Amino acid sequence: MAGTLLVYDDAFPRARVAAGPIRNTPGADELRANSYPEPFRLLPIWEASTPETYFQAMADAAEAMGKPESFILFGHGRVVNAAQAGGTVRVTTGIIMGSSDITASNASGLRALRGKFARGARAELWVCEAAAAGASGGQSGQVLCQAITDALGIDVIAATITQEYTTANQEEIPGGGWQSTAQFLPWEGTTVRFTPRRR
């Protein structure tokens, strides 16, 4: 069946108002408008999901689709300020997903998706500063991205800077809070392609 599998943090952007949570979720219209392969499968990762649970959910969804050509992870980058001799540097340590981030340390869980993509498939990280070069203590966005591409066994595209996104179709969530459709594209700045060190 092929197509595009878009996995997103259901609690994005992890913000609240007095009445309840703010939820901005991606939509199929953006994929269609930018000529991503159809059909589309949008997989929400619930805030309580552990990495073991959400990695397996991704693998199950990819297998059910039958060799998707495009794989997208959508969520916030976890960025911290690290002290260095010349001041501070911003370091991307993970992608906020479920109850615990995707990090360079646990990205090997994405190996559950190996062999489930079409030949020539690629992944995209719709994540702010995912590929940022700032480094400290062996951590950086580039280390994270390389760990993800090595685990998946396919090329990964990511950005080095904060990505602006817009929202539309805002409506109130029953019980409190607001729901909107997030639009991530077009990319801001220059993207970086990561290639698996072994396939």
Q: Which amino acid is at 32?
A: R
Q: Count of domains in the chain?
A: 1
| Beta pairing partners, 178 | 22, 172
Check pLDDT > 80 for residue 85. no
What pTM, to 2 d.p., does this model score?
Answer: 0.94
Q: Looking at the domain assignment, is residue 199 inside a domain?
A: no
Check pLDDT > 80 for residue 170. yes
Q: Looking at the domain assignment, is residue 72 inside a domain?
A: yes
pLDDT of residue 83: 81
Residue 187 belongs to domain spanning: 4-194
Q: Looking at the domain assignment, is residue 62 inside a domain?
A: yes
Confidence class for position 186, pLDDT limits 50, 70, 90: very high
- Those residues whose C-beta lies under 8 Å from the C-beta of residue 125, and which sit 6 or more positions away, are 72, 73, 95, 131, 145, 148, 156, 157, 158, 159
Q: Give the tens place of pLDDT for each residue, 87-115.
A: 888 999 999 999 999 999 999 999 999 99
pLDDT of residue 24: 94
User: Which DSSP symbol is given to 40?
Assistant: E
Confidence class for position 1, pLDDT limits 50, 70, 90: low
Q: What string of H, E and C letters represents the secondary structure of 125-141?
A: EECCCCCCCCEECCEEH
Mean pLDDT, the chain, whole residue set = 94
In Å, the largest CA–CA distance within the chain is 53
- Three-state DSSP class for 62? helix
Confidence class for position 199, pLDDT limits 50, 70, 90: low
Q: Could you tell me what percent of the chain has a pLDDT over 90? A: 84
Q: Looking at the domain assignment, is residue 59 inside a domain?
A: yes
Q: Looking at the domain assignment, is residue 101 inside a domain?
A: yes
- Three-state DSSP class for 107? helix
- Those residues whose C-beta lies under 8 Å from the C-beta of residue 60, and which sit 6 or more positions away, are none
Q: Give the tens place of pLDDT for each residue, 114-146.
A: 999 999 999 999 999 999 999 998 999 999 999
